[in-house]
Structure 1
Amino acid sequence: MTLKDLYQRPGFLLRRTHQISAAVFENACATVGLTPAQYGVLTVLANEPGLDQTRLARALAFDKVTVMRVCKGLEERGMIERRVSEHSRRQMAVVLTAAGKKLLQQARGPAEQAYQRLLSPLTPEQRHQLIEILETLTQGLADDARAPFVPLLPAESVEKRTGPAPAPKARANRTNTGQGTVSKRR
């Protein structure tokens, strides 16, 4: 494989695009001090107050450790609170504080600027195509993801966009030895 081959691989280009996307977002949101992950958590919680950490992680396709780390940082800044859930005493519900709501409001303009900056090299048609291709890619390979994605959309919205949910596929469980076992995804 040549370097040109490497640099044209989808994985390389997607990773590089993600790096650029994060940098564009962080530059635009420097005045409010938010990362893309923090903005995602605040946005989800603004729409689903009192969500438990497991559902929050799935709504953003984060693993549990990542969502706990992001929540801890936001909690230390006074942007969110974790409370015992009303539905289950074993779960923690996460809610925005007044300061968190204010920060999210302040971040909306810079976040939109970042979105527009990221897509600025593309024509409107290319923007639409890019989103369609990325949705097709992520939906088609969702079973290979390390963290599940469970969008918090009304059922009819998800069905309209993606069609009915496919049956779980058999997939190899990853182990630290490189050996895998096949199991049904739930």
Structure 2
Amino acid sequence: MTLKDLYQRPGFLLRRTHQISAAVFENACASVGLTPAQYGVLTVLSSEPGLDQTRLARALAFDKVTVMRVCKGLEERGLIERRIAEHSRRQMAVVLTPAGKKLLQQARGPAEQAYQRLLSPLTLTQRQQLIEILETLTQGLADEARAPFVPLLPPATTEPAAEPTAAPKARARRTNTGQVKATRPR
């Protein structure tokens, strides 16, 4: 393998893209002092107040240690509170504090600027293709992930069951952005 081969491998390019993505986000959000992981936690909790830490971790594809570390830092800053969950005394529910809601609101503009900056080298068509390719890759290899990803999206509308046939039909599957696509059964 040559260095050129190494530098063109998907793993190398994805890792490098992640480094750049994190740097672009952190530069844009320096004024609010948030990392991408912290912003993700605040965003999820804004949509799902009182979510338990396990579901929070799955909604962001974090392992339990990472979500606990991020929550601890946000709690120390007074941006979230962890409480014993009402439905299970063994789980912790996480909620945004008023300060957390305010900071999230302040961070939305810089986060959008980071998103636009990250995609700025691409045309609109390339942006759409990139998202589709990344969704295909992450969904196709989801079983290989170290942490599960369970998006918090409204359930897909279900249609009446069709009559069974000899050949299996494609099934609907939600993408990371909530779109429904047909996939082949395994």
The alignment's TM-score, normalised by the length of structure 1, stands at 0.86
Letter in 2 for 1:94: V
Q: Which residue of 2 aligns with 1:151?
A: 151
Unaligned runs of 5+ in 2: 158-172
**Residues 110 and 86 (structure 1), Cα distance of their counterparts in 2 relative to 1, 3 Å cut:** same
After superposition, the Cα gap between the structure-2 partners of 1:165 and 1:62, relative to the gap in structure 1 and judged at 3 Å, is farther
Tell me the CA shift for residue 118 of structure 1. 0.1
Whole-Å separation in 2 of the counterparts to 1:66 and 1:163:
33
Residue in structure 1 matching 2:180, options 156, 161, 185: 161
**What amino acid does structure 1 have at the position aligned with 2:97?**
T
Q: How does 1:8-157 map to 2 (within 5 A)?
A: 8-156=8-156
Count residues with an aligned counterpart: 167
Match of 1:155, SS? coil
CA RMSD of superposed structures (Å): 1.6
Moved runs in structure 1, 4+ residues, more than 6 A?
164-167
CA displacement, residues 88-110 of structure 1 (integer Å, 9 cap, x when unaligned): 11110000000000000000000
**Larger helix share, 1 or 2:** 1
Quote the offset at 1:155 in angstroms: 1.4
Identity of aligned residues (%): 86
**CA drift at 1:163:** 4.3
| Structure 1 residues 166 and 67, CA gap change in structure 2 (3 angstroms) | farther
Tell me the TM-score normalized by structure 2.
0.86
Q: CA deviation at 1:161?
A: 2.2
Unaligned runs of 5+ in 1: 168-186
Please give the alpha-carbon distance, in whole angstroms, between the structure 1 residues aligned to 2:3 and 2:70: 36
